[in-house]
Amino acid sequence: MRIAVTIFLTDETIAPVRLARELEARGYAGLYLPEHTHIPVERTTPYPAGGDLPREYGRTLDPFVALGQAAAVTERLGLGTGITLVAQHDPIALAKQIATLDHLSGGRCTLGLGYGWNVEEAADHGVDWRTRRELVRDRTRLMQALWAAEPTAYEGEFGSVRASEAHPKPVQKARGPVTGPRTLVGGAAGPKLFAHIAEYADGWLPIGGRGLAESLPVLRTAWADAGRDPAALQVVPYAVLPTPGKLAHYADLGIEEAVLQLPPAGEKEVLEVLDAYAAFL
């Protein structure tokens, strides 16, 4: 099983360049970074994990800038987002950012995308919370049109783009209905999520990995019903606090990659955790 990591990189943590070099030297498969543009102080949305919202949420580095730094000092390390809040971006500009990172890194980019949980943050971006899932789907399809090999127009419910010259292109070739970098969708298990994954993504990025034994057969059915290749489905448990038993369980389910959670800490603490996690490599 490939072992990657995720971390809230901030202005107070280990730097992206230092972390990326250490990950590649130790044999980790990838680095995934979350995204929050800002956290409104006057918020009513409860923190999904309960309690006070941790400090790092309001201090995260821009994931694409940080991953660009990581790309420049590594050769093999996967570079992913977990997750990109697609609803909070202009999709034409975002498509350019993602394609550029993938091109410059030699095809090492994974687009982990999702719908978000912070209503106030999304509202400041003009997002209607009730339709955010449909907005993310629409903007992802628009980006995929820009990533197509030939100029391709897209007309959606929330936006459109003319057939355009849009380079660079992501390295990975089209597979089934998907163009662009490896694309994984985060979110809680359910028929709507699984239908969207089967329509426009390569797989699922479930936080924590709980309940996979029950959810995977449902996802695989939705995938097959959409005419997708069963062997192509990718499921990557995300932000996992690992134990040998948990990772063995994932392997029994046919999972080939897991993303372990690192603390949002300074260099010394992060490197100590990396050394501890090395037992799982």
How many Å apart are CA 85 and CA 95, to the nearest integer? 13
- Would you state the structure tokens that stand for residue 257, as one six-digit string? 């990659």
The HSE-up count of residue 61 (CA atoms within 13 Å, CB side) is: 23
Query: Looking at the DSSP assignment, which residues form a beta bridge with residue 182?
Result: 110
Half-sphere exposure of 239 (CA within 13 A, CB side): 18
Q: What is the domain extent for residue 6?
A: 2-280
Q: How many CB atoms lie within 10 A of CB 98?
A: 24
Q: Is 229 exposed, middle or buried (0-12, 13-18, 19+ CB in 10 A)?
A: exposed
Helix, strand or coil, per DSSP, at residue 195: helix
pLDDT digits (tens, 9 = 90+) for 129-168: 999 999 999 999 999 999 999 999 999 999 999 999 999 9
pLDDT tens per residue, range 17-43: 999 999 999 999 999 999 999 999 988
The three-state secondary structure class of 245 is: helix
Conformational region of residue 254, where left means phi above 0, alpha means psi within -120 to 50, and beta covers everything else: left
Low-confidence ranges of the chain (pLDDT < 70): none
Q: What is the pLDDT of residue 13?
A: 98
- Count how many domains the chain has: 1
Amino acid letter at 151?
P
pLDDT at 218: 98
Measured CA to CA, the distance from residue 12 to residue 158 in angstroms comes to 37
CA 10/CA 12 separation, integer angstroms: 5
Integer Cα distance of 163 and 146 in angstroms: 8
DSSP state of 124: H
Provide the CATH number for the domain around residue 204. Answer: 3.20.20.30
Q: Which two tokens stand for residue 19?
A: 């972390």
Measuring CA to CA, which residue among 261, 239, 270, 276 is closest to residue 13? 270
Please name the residue that has the structure tokens 């990975």. Answer: 172
